[in-house]
Amino acid sequence: MARTTRNLRWRVVDIVVASVIGVASGVVFWAWGLAWTPLSGLLSFTPGLEGLLAGGWLFAGVLGGLVIRKPGAAVYTEVIAAVVSMLIGTQWGFSTLLWGVIEGLGAELVLAAFVYANWRLGVALLAGAGAGVAVGLLDTSFTSYAALEFGYKAIYFVSAVISGVVIAGLLSWLATRGLARSGALSRFAAGRETAARA
């Protein structure tokens, strides 16, 4: 019985589509940054709950990984998104790029742990959680949150992971399925897999 081999090498179309995902996500990141202050104010009734907003900056890596399905896709799309939002202008400046690299790695490590072979909902949720863990650790260690009490940081960290699971994991998985059903991913394994199930 012949085994099908997976090609994990990037094609030109992979680079183009990952770049498009990254650029579009970067614009969303920038807009999400503008909304951060008023939205976090609404969550101030419980200190640390603003971590629930973190997923708005984590989805690019998970979405890129789910669509491209090649090593490095999560990091690449998250970094492109971070660079675009930084160039448009964010209140966090160059640190946006550093966060993008680490957040992308958070998702990438989960996809790598499944050898870039499992694209089910559970893996997408775990990739979102991985990105959430990354931003939770970064924010509570290297920003003004680092000086706050442990309880605040714990609530923030848990909230960031939950946000990563729901926004970056679940919504990216649903978006990938929606794009695949529309035919937009016909040149990708995600699109062919969805078409085969239909």
Close Cβ partners of 95 (under 8 Å, ≥ 6 residues apart)? none
Residue 7 lies in a domain: no
Residue pair 132/102 in contact by the 8 Å Cβ criterion: no
Residue 179 lies in a domain: yes
Sign of CA dihedral 59, 107, 78, 16: negative
Residue 140 lies in a domain: yes
Residue 154 lies in a domain: yes
User: In the chain, how many domains are there?
Assistant: 1
Q: At residue 77, does pLDDT exceed 50?
A: yes
Q: At residue 15, does pLDDT exceed 90?
A: yes
Counting Cα atoms < 13 Å in the Cβ hemisphere of 59 gives 23
Residue 2 lies in a domain: no
CA distance 111 to 48: 28
What 8-state DSSP symbol labels residue 6?
A: P
What pLDDT score was predicted for residue 197? 67
Residue 81 lies in a domain: yes
Q: Which two tokens stand for residue 10?
A: 């990037």
Share of the chain above pLDDT 90, in %: 75
Residue pair 132/161 in contact by the 8 Å Cβ criterion: yes
What pLDDT score was predicted for residue 194? 67
Residue 153 lies in a domain: yes
Helix (H) or strand (E) holding 193: helix 189-197
Residue 30 lies in a domain: yes
pTM, to two decimals: 0.91
Write out the residue range of the structural domain in which residue 31 sits. 12-197
